[in-house]
Structure formats: C-alpha cells, structure tokens
Chain A
Amino acid sequence: DAGVIQSPRHEVTEMGQEVTLRCKPISGHNSLFWYRQTMMRGLELLIYFNNNVPIDDSGMPEDRFSAKMPNASFSTLKIQPSEPRDSAVYFCASSFRAGMETQYFGPGTRLLVL
C-alpha cells in the first residue's frame, strides 16, 4: 500500500483565499483524522471521521474550517477565507478503527498564508 496520501505537499496562498487540502487514507481503514502541527501547540486534532461520518469536530478552530469525507477513499479540509495564523503543517492520518493504537500519518501539507 502507498500509505496515506496528501496533496498538495506545499501550498502558498494569500490571505482571504480559499485553501483545499486533500487526503487519501490507507485502503481498508475506517477512521480518518485531520491534525494541525504548530510549534506552540504541537499536533492538534481538528476532526475525525468514522466510516465517512464526522464524529468529533470540536478541534476545528473556527467556522472558516470545514472538512468532508464523501467516500471511504477521500477527504478534504477546506479553509475559507484563509488567514496568516492558519499557516502550519496539516496532517491526515488513518487507522483501521478509531481508538486503534496506531495511526498512520501522511507526509503532511505545509501551508503558508501570506
């Protein structure tokens, strides 16, 4: 398996623009997680899905952030409008089921909002 795939790997955009991050989980995994990594807070869970259904989005910072999982093999994290403080590395991870000891992370998307 190719592992968790994320795109783009890098994104530079201007404040106010819409940003869409994409994730393809490992085939057969039923849970998908979106994390944000910053120096100050480390890895923060934004939202996770179980069987394509959002279970907990309490980590989503604001209404500007939204996430979807239309099918078992694809998820998006959208920021609209983007702000400079959204600059971070965004990771997608998947596991066979939520709460499994091991989550498999993608390589991340490094976002810079100017």
Chain B
Amino acid sequence: DQQVKQNSPSLSVQEGRISILNCDYTNSMFDYFLWYKKYPAEGPTFLISISSIKDKNEDGRFTVFLNKSAKHLSLHIVPSQPGDSAVYFCAAREGNQFYFGTGTSLTVIP
C-alpha cells in the first residue's frame, strides 16, 4: 500500500503565480521529507527537504510546509516559472529507506 500519496497527477499554473503541490502520508514514523524534481529523460534531482521537527523550510522560490497532525506535506513555488515545468515527487524517510509518491506533473504556462 502506498505510504506516500500524491493525489493530483497534474497541475497547470500561469507563469508568475503560485504553484502548490500536495502530498499525504500514512506512516507516523517518517522523520524526514523531501521533494524531488524530474525532467523528461532524466533522473529525479533533489529540490528541498524538511525535518519532522520543523513545519516550514524555505529555499528561494521554494517553500515546503509540514503539517504532522494532518500527515500532510506541501511544496509552494512562487513565482512559478516555465522552467519549473517538471514532475515533482514527494518522498519520506523511515530509517534508511525512502518512500516516494507517484508524482505530480507541473506545467507552468508562459
């Protein structure tokens, strides 16, 4: 069963607006959460992460929010740029293992 879920397979956003990608998880033992970005024909690349002891981490245009009580993670991109168009994977860590979601394909429309 999927422990990490991304229920929106795709998202379209106008350039300059905010993109919000969501992720839900079921395992309360996860202690670290990450977002990876994947372009076609390439492997995923690390984007941003957050420890379970925090509720927000910001890196430039990217901010990750963690709501532990709701077991919910979100990635905010603002302002969105056409180069942000990619598939975004949410991942969570338990011990030495990472569990990934199914990905959300973001399209930023110029």
Contact = CB atoms under 8 A, between A and B. Distances in A.
Contacts, number: 62
User: Size band of the A side of the interface?
Assistant: 20 to 34
Interface in B10-33: 32
A41 B99 CA distance: 11
A50 B95 CA distance: 14
Nearest to A93: B43
Given A41-B102, A42-B100, A42-B103, A99 B95 contact: yes
Interface residues of B, number: 25
Contacts of A108: 41-43
Contact of A107 (B6, B42, B93): B42
A101 B34 contact: yes
Interface of B: 2, 4, 6, 32, 34, 36, 41-46, 49, 89, 91, 93, 95-103
24 contacts: A4-B43, A41-B2, A41-B102, A42-B6, A42-B100, A42-B101, A42-B102, A43-B89, A43-B91, A44-B100, A45-B99, A50-B96, A98-B96, A99-B93, A99-B95, A99-B97, A101-B34, A101-B46, A102-B46, A102-B49, A103-B46, A103-B98, A104-B43, A107-B43
